[in-house]
Structures are given as structure tokens and as C-alpha cells.
Amino acid sequence: MKILAGNSSVALAKSVVQILDLSLAQASIKHFADKELFVEILENVRGEDVFIIQSTSYPANDHLMELLIILDALRRGSARRITAVIPYYGYARQDRKTSPRSPISAKLTANLITVAGASRVLTFDLHSAQIQGFFDIPLDNLFSSTVFSQDIIKNYGKSNVMVVSPDIGGVGRARAIAKRIDSDLAIIDKRRERAGVSEVVNIIGDVKGKNLILIDDIIDTAGTLCNAAHALMDAGALSVRAYVTHGVLSNPAVERIMTSPIHEIVVTDSIQGNEEVVNCPKIRFLSIAPLLAEGIKRISEEKSVSVLFD
């Protein structure tokens, strides 16, 4: 088994190989003057079981193209099996037609990854379950519910804690964690007029006097979570915290978080945070390296991955 790291996930890949007691495979990734990418695998991969760890996070197009070129280089190097480990699957929010002439970019991205040479995909908390059907190769989708529920119980216990879904679409994700920590569930009825702009219309459930945990899969500009936090505090909540799988955290996310009533936002290291994000006192990182390492090990040894869903 060999593990390579793309430029978007170097820190996470180093943590994974440390857990597996391996070393990262060597590769050279260069840019020409016009920013064209060149990749060369610097060791023999013929007949090997190879895993490439690369999130398609900001800059999404560069990191996606880098992943595709690495996959092609491994395929042409005669790797026996190539698994694309994509902790954060970019373009996942474009998973359906939202207007008559709009693309389904999540499906296009799946096609590109498959054609480039991936034998299978290991990813983490897909934005929607239907994306699994966009791939014609095996895909394993790991969940953050185990990692999050353990951290919630460790830091806040189960007493007077209530889980909140920030929108109707995230109810299943929030319910899974509420079940694990034996908590009640509240739902926010949200209206989104356009991308990046949302408004809280109603809160379903009694949140008064509760310590609330918002659960979401992606935080981008933080508008949805900050608006939700204001509405929940106005409804009588004692405190509001958030657990979010993928911290995209585009501008002006950090500024919004710092001026919001949210006490803390916990994100995984599926996306490598920039300096502003890492230094934000309200943002805490939770590593998914142990979970990814176990998934990689089980795939390599041809063992069941489904046990990691429990």
C-alpha cells in the first residue's frame, strides 16, 4: 500500500500515514509559468494499491485538476488499484438542476474522477446521499456523527443539550447525532432567496433554556449558522455551538463568527484551514485522520468498511 498527498491535504495525509506507520509516497507537483500543472510520481507504483488524499477545496478548480492529473499519472504508472480519498468533495452543492439550463456539476466531477483513473472513492460526509449514485465505481462515504457525538459527550455531556438542524435538508444528519447522545431535536425553517443568503422563518421545537448544538455538513460564508444562532438566542437558548464537517469558511465567515452569539464552531480537518481560520478563537479543529486511516486500512485489506458507519 502506498499513500500520496495532494497539496490541499498534506497535513491530514501526514497524520494518516503516522497512524498507519507508513511514509508518504514521493511525487513532484510543479507549475509551469502559465500555471499549468505537471505531476511526476517519484517511486515505483506498478502493481501497488495506491491511495491519493486530496480535498477539492479552495482553490477548488486547481485542486480538482491536480487530483485528476495525479490519478492519470498513477494509472499510466500501472498501479494495480487507485483509490481517490477525497475528504471534502467539492462541487457537491451542485447536485441537481436548480434552473432550466443549469449544470449538475457534482455528476460531471464524478465522471472526471472516474475517467482519470480512480478505481474507487473514499469520501467523508457527502452533501447529499444521491451523489453516491453519480459514480460508476465503488464509493465509501464515511460520516462525522461518531466523531462529533463523542466530542459533544466529552465536552458538554448529555444534560440540557439539544441538537438543532439549521435547515430541513439536514434533519437526517442532525437526528443521527441526537440519537447517539440521547437528545431532543429542533429544526430551523429556513428560506434561501439566493446563494449565500438565507433567512430564518420559524423554529420547530422548544429551545428555551437549552444548550444548543447546531449540526451541518458545510460552513462557507457562515451566514446560515450565524442567522440561526441569533434566532435561537432570541428564542431563549442558553448557548449555541456548532459542529460542522467541512470548514470552507470563505470571506467574510470569520468576521461573522466573531460578531455572532455562537460560542464555538467545531470543524474537522477535511479542509486545511488558512491562517485566519486557524487563529480564530471561536473555531476548533477535530481530526478525522483516525477514521480515514481505518477506512484506508480496511479497503487495502479487503475488509468491511460499513462497520465504521455505526
157 annotated binding-site participant: no
Take residue 33 and report the three cell numbers written for it. Answer: 509559468
Stated as kind and residue range, the H or E segment containing 200 is strand 197-204
210 annotated binding-site participant: no
294 annotated binding-site participant: no
36 annotated binding-site participant: yes
34 annotated binding-site participant: yes
146 annotated binding-site participant: no
CA 165/CA 145 separation, integer angstroms: 13
Is 22:30 a contact under the CB 8 Å cutoff?
no
Q: Which residues neighbour 296 within 8 Å (Cβ) at sequence distance 6 or greater?
A: 1, 3, 16, 20, 51, 83, 85, 122
Is 107 among the catalytic positions? no
127 annotated binding-site participant: yes
224 annotated binding-site participant: yes
46 annotated binding-site participant: no
Take residue 222 and report the three cell numbers written for it. Answer: 457562515
Give whole-number Cα distances, 49 to 54, 111, 136, 182, 266, in Å: 16, 22, 20, 40, 33
35 annotated binding-site participant: yes
- To the nearest 10°, report the CA torsion of 118, 120, 123, 126: 100
CA 272/CA 252 separation, integer angstroms: 17
Question: Which member of 30, 154, 158, 190 is catalytic?
Answer: 190
Q: Which residue has the cell 466530542?
A: 151
Which residues carry a binding-site annotation for D-ribose 5-phosphate?
Answer: 192, 216, 220-224
Which residues carry a binding-site annotation for Mg(2+)?
Answer: 127, 167
Which residues carry a binding-site annotation for ATP?
Answer: 34-36, 93-94
Give catalytic residues, as residue numbers: 190
